[in-house]
Chain A
Amino acid sequence: MANRTAAIAAGERAFALSLFLPAFLVLVLITTFPLVYLVWTSLNRIDLAMPWNSGFAGAENYARMFDDPRFWHALELTLIYTSVTVILQVLIGLGLALLVSRIPVGQGLLRVAVIVPIVLAPVVVGLFWRTLVLAPDFGIVDFVTRALGFGSHNWLGDPQLALISVIAIHTWQWTPFVFLVLLASLAALPIEIFEAARLDRASAWQRFWHITLPLIRPAIVIVIIMRMMIALSAFAAIFAATGGGPGTATEILNLYVYRTSFDALNFGYGAALGVVLLVITLGVSFILFRLRRSR
């Protein structure tokens, strides 16, 4: 009998493996192998502008970063862009979810409407904002600021405004994500706890701070992790809206990697920057997952 059970278990393992292996092999081929190739490329001099110079370079590409102000600038912008967009999305999304979860009318409408920004291609959103929303003189925002007496501004042409603008674009598109996920987790909370707290005359603020927040904290943490990962890989919307400019004003690390590889055609240095980006992404996700588990 034990033999038979063991045979069945072994059969199931073999069956499971045969179902899983095809997908696994495809993923090894198209993610793990390129990853190794990326690291190898980063150790080589591959500059199509200077093809005669190609060859193994060791850590040269990495050493170059220390004296590259554009790299440090991109790193700083990545930090600003990621933290500001995530904070804004979570604050606005959570606030709105809390408010909307209490109204009976209009909730469904808003829930459907916010799906639209989420499903749009970031590159289309970037182009839309670059033209219809933010273009000087013709965009909606300029129309509003002029009507309010703040005058016309070059929202994507002025270095500081451009950074604010690309942050606004990302926040506009992805706050609905946070809103929907948190609204769903609010709706899943047991209503009895709130009734009891109300009978105990707990204020709205106390109810939020001592009941709601602890209960939805796991959802908030997950949302923060996901949004950080997405913000760290943001590319298309910025590419479409500013291309990383004016100058390097909105050139986060992703844009810098792209421009180095595909505009300057320096694949070796681009790959080294890509490895740094990879290390940052994996490092951040590792820390966040550890934080999450320790709670």
Chain B
Amino acid sequence: MRRSPVAGAALLCLTGAFLILWTFPILWGLLTSLKPELEVLAYPPTLFFSPTLGNYRDVLLGATTILPNLISSLIIATAATVLSMLFAIPAAYALARLKLPAGRGAGFYILATQMLPPVGLIIPYYLVLQRAGLLDSYPGIILIYLTFSLPFAIWLLVSYFEDIPREMEEAALIDRAGRLRAFLYVVLPQVRGGIAVTSIFVFLNAWNEFLFAVVLGGNNVRPVTVAMFNFVSVEQTLWGKLAAAAMIAMAPVILLGLLAQRHIVKGLTAGAMKGGGRG
């Protein structure tokens, strides 16, 4: 390398600047969540203060507890993940490996469903669930969550099914029982990692969803993304509590994101690297 040390140092500084740009707001939120309410609004902002867990106690156990909302989020995201995987795993295998009739068209259909704008579809969802009496109910919301999690799961899983070597299953593909056995006992064990990664991303997206939750939910079903608004109103912002609630809501997704870190590029571009190459 012929680069000068000055250029190298400049590069490092620039990298550091971006590192701060992307982490500072979160770290600032963490600091704020540990401050007593009086300290939060001090100007200039204080860096050193005696930290308190009071905000966390308030948002978990106080009058404005978000505990039910966390449970709500957990139920919805878990159910949406399990259901998505149940439908997506066989479908992805059929798309990736088997001679599916009209396979190209089928792949393109799934890609196209991913492009429908949620804000448009929310209107029929609302009207239909209202008529069916399923507004503010878990079955209603979980079913609607499949609209974004199922196509995503199928496309991400297709890429994992395509990665495994073909030879092993071929011998078993003679009859129906053989095919099913090959799928369950030969193919599935090889995509365990892919299934885990896909589940993580599906869970993450469901946990973070807001539009469907705010429109189709209500007093019974109010996930944490909606409950965050408890702490912000036109009149006042409860800074410390908002920050603490945000930290609690963020913690699982940050952990899962870091866990699936090495797969994130694949997860982000699910289906797109082929760009409907099948369709």
Interface residues, chain A, CB within 8 Å of chain B?
A: 8-9, 11-17, 19-20, 22-24, 26-27, 30-32, 34-35, 37-38, 41, 46, 96, 99-100, 102-103, 105-107, 109-124, 127-133, 135, 137-138, 140, 143, 172, 176-177, 180-181, 184, 222, 225-226, 229, 232-233, 235-236, 239-240, 254, 257-258, 261-262, 267, 270-271, 274-275, 277-278, 281-282, 285, 289, 292
Binds A, one of B57-65, B83-91, B189-197: B83-91
A11 touches B118 (CB 8 A): no
A15 touches B98 (CB 8 A): yes
Residues of B within 8 A of A278 (CB): 116-117, 120
Contact A100/B243 with A24-B106, A130-B232 known, Cβ cut-off 8 Å: no
Q: Which listed residue, B126, B208, B257, touches A122 by the CB 8 Å rule? A: B208
Q: Which residue of A lies closest to B277 (CB)?
A: A293
B28 touches A132 (CB 8 A): yes
Residues of A within 8 A of B243 (CB): 132
Contact A281/B154 with A20-B100, A30-B147 known, Cβ cut-off 8 Å: no
A180 touches B268 (CB 8 A): yes
Task: Tell me the minimal C-beta distance from A37 to chain B in angstroms.
Answer: 4
Contact A103/B12 with A11-B179, A34-B125, A172-B22 known, Cβ cut-off 8 Å: yes
Residues of A within 8 A of B41 (CB): 138
Contact A282/B253 with A113-B19, A131-B242 known, Cβ cut-off 8 Å: no
The contact size tier of chain B is 35 or more
B246 interface residue (CB < 8 Å to A)? yes
A184 touches B117 (CB 8 A): no
**How many angstroms from the CA of A240 to the CA of B225 in the assembled complex?**
10
**How many angstroms from the CA of A64 to the CA of B48 in the assembled complex?**
58
Contact A11/B175 with A30-B143, A119-B254, A138-B239 known, Cβ cut-off 8 Å: yes
The CB with the most chain A CB atoms within 10 A, among B151, B242, B256, B268, is that of: B268
- B11-39 CB contact bits vs A (8 Å, 1 = yes)? 11011101101111110110010000000
- B133-159 CB contact bits vs A (8 Å, 1 = yes)? 000000000011011001100100000
**How many angstroms from the CA of A287 to the CA of B103 in the assembled complex?**
23
**How many angstroms from the CA of A13 to the CA of B94 in the assembled complex?**
9
B18 touches A127 (CB 8 A): no
A-B contacts, 27 of them at CB < 8 A, read A19-B91, A19-B93, A27-B109, A34-B128, A38-B120, A38-B123, A41-B124, A41-B127, A103-B8, A112-B258, A115-B264, A116-B23, A116-B257, A121-B225, A123-B225, A131-B232, A132-B32, A132-B239, A132-B243, A229-B115, A258-B122, A267-B123, A274-B119, A274-B120, A274-B123, A277-B117, A277-B120
Q: Which of B42-91 contact A (CB under 8 A)?
A: 43-45, 87-88, 90-91
From DSSP, what is the main secondary structure of chain A's interface residues?
A: helix
A30 touches B90 (CB 8 A): no
B220 interface residue (CB < 8 Å to A)? no
B176 touches A11 (CB 8 A): yes
**How many angstroms from the CA of A133 to the CA of B229 in the assembled complex?**
17
Q: Which listed residue, B99, B175, B180, B225, touches A9 by the CB 8 Å rule? A: B99
Q: Which listed residue, A96, A119, A128, touches B25 by the CB 8 Å rule? A: A128
**Assuming A12-B98, A113-B23, what are 9 further A-B pairs, CB within 8 angstroms?**
A119-B256, A132-B29, A132-B32, A138-B41, A140-B28, A181-B265, A225-B272, A258-B211, A277-B120
Q: Which residue of B lies closest to A27 (CB)?
A: B113
Contact A30/B144 with A22-B87, A35-B116, A115-B258 known, Cβ cut-off 8 Å: yes
A282 touches B232 (CB 8 A): no
Q: Which residue of A lies closest to B257 (CB)?
A: A119
B90 touches A257 (CB 8 A): no
B15 touches A106 (CB 8 A): yes
Q: Which residue of B lies closest to A271 (CB)?
A: B123
**How many angstroms from the CA of A38 to the CA of B128 in the assembled complex?**
11
**How many angstroms from the CA of A132 to the CA of B231 in the assembled complex?**
13
A16 touches B250 (CB 8 A): no
The CB with the most chain B CB atoms within 10 A, among A31, A143, A274, is that of: A31
B100 touches A17 (CB 8 A): yes
- B174-192 CB contact bits vs A (8 Å, 1 = yes)? 1110011001000000000
Residues of B within 8 A of A267 (CB): 123, 126-127
**How many angstroms from the CA of A137 to the CA of B119 in the assembled complex?**
34
**How many angstroms from the CA of A137 to the CA of B43 in the assembled complex?**
8
B165 interface residue (CB < 8 Å to A)? no
Contact A113/B265 with A128-B246, A274-B123 known, Cβ cut-off 8 Å: no
**How many angstroms from the CA of A291 to the CA of B59 in the assembled complex?**
50
A282 touches B225 (CB 8 A): no
B268 touches A118 (CB 8 A): yes
Task: Tell me the minimal C-beta distance from B130 to chain A in angstroms.
Answer: 10
Contact A135/B237 with A12-B99, A27-B113 known, Cβ cut-off 8 Å: yes
